[in-house]
Amino acid sequence: MSDRPTATTSPPLLELEGLTTDFPLRHGRVRAVNDLSFQLYEGEKLGIVGESGSGKSVTLRSILRLVPYPGQTVAGDIRFQGQSLLAKTGREMRKIRGKDIAMIFQDPMTTLNPAFVVGEQIRESLRIHNIVPRSPGIVSHLFDRKRKKRENERVMQAMAEVGIPDPAQNARRYPHQFSGGMQQRALTAIALACEPQLLLADEPTTALDVTIQAQILALLDKINRERGTTIILVTHDLAVVAEFCHNVIVLYAGQLMEKGSIAQIIENPLHPYTHGLLRCLPKIGSRRQKIDPIPGLAPDLSSLQTGCPFAPRCDRVMPACSQTESIPLKTLSDGRLVRCLLF
């Protein structure tokens, strides 16, 4: 379990206030992220957990304003270093993406361009953000040999930092020539090439075996410790979050159900949904136990009823859970947040 970062009086690096992202579809409006608020401080490793469809990936894409059409952020604000990202133009956001805020996307095979070698895809990020400036007097980068040399050195450095062996040779390989773990490392190298302050990692260990998964998490932890990079890790696996993160947010149907430190959430979960997620984890012991899954299915976001969206699946449901218009988010004495009428 990771140590929490030293307490600080500095302002948050990232603030989400009432973030709401909708997808207007034929059969109804889907609210993928519903009035989400939280603060993220420099050097923090924050986990966002929940079942598929709970709004985790849409939250990350909303921060970068990369929500796929026809989705749109309809309410709230996203502030990075005190400045509203929603107020920025498309050109201003392109300067931020990859340089100040970078993202490791979920599926390397659909994110990496199969037509270009890996080294060129890392170089592209450096060139877009002018990380390696042109040599004096040279107008076009095509004739700037000194710049190309410096870019190559930076590409080799980025690949070596993420643990890709023999960078000079592997930089000339195509994505399909890499294993799943190597593809994930290549995506990480692209994201880190410009040394961003905030890294958004969208399920970076999905479909990897446990050995490669541990290597990727160790790499991200090293980046956090050595560079001070702030990280948001999205996953459906609470075991991964318990190993890696300082704090965790539990999402369900786009709403924040519980937020607290790893110790609070793992050792003393409060919300019935958090209890359910923890019961789904396999336990190693002498006595054989069946995994206890959460009953029912995730709700249809286009036809949510009033009250708690988890009520139809909850083993502690009360009549008030569905009769109350909306369940308030409460701040408890220990600082954690929970959205439940039991507290």
Percent of the chain residues past pLDDT 70, beyond the cut: 92
Least confident of 161-165, 287-291, 302-306: 287-291
Distance CA 46, CA 4 (A): 10
pLDDT digits (tens, 9 = 90+) for 6-39: 445 689 999 999 999 999 988 888 999 999 999 9
Q: What is the pTM of this model?
A: 0.91
The answer to whether residue 48 is domain-embedded is no
Task: Pick the most confident of 104-108, 273-277, 286-290.
Answer: 273-277
pLDDT digits (tens, 9 = 90+) for 309-336: 999 999 999 999 999 989 999 999 999 9
The answer to whether residue 228 is domain-embedded is no
pLDDT digits (tens, 9 = 90+) for 228-280: 999 999 998 888 899 999 999 999 999 999 999 999 999 999 999 999 999 88
Query: In the predicted model, is pLDDT for residue 1 greater than 60?
Result: no
Domain count, the chain: 1
Whose CA is closest to 12, among 104, 90, 65, 78?
A: 78
The answer to whether residue 152 is domain-embedded is yes
Q: Which domain holds residue 129?
A: 101-195
The answer to whether residue 302 is domain-embedded is no
Query: In the predicted model, is pLDDT for residue 137 greater than 80?
Result: no
- Is 297:278 a contact under the CB 8 Å cutoff? no
The answer to whether residue 285 is domain-embedded is no
Residue 179's CATH number: 3.40.50.300
The answer to whether residue 139 is domain-embedded is yes
The residue to which tokens 């990280």 are assigned: 231
Distance CA 111, CA 107 (A): 6
Helix and strand element counts for the chain (H, E)? 12, 12
pLDDT digits (tens, 9 = 90+) for 109-128: 889 999 999 999 999 989 88
The answer to whether residue 130 is domain-embedded is yes
The answer to whether residue 128 is domain-embedded is yes
The two tokens of residue 106 are 């979920």
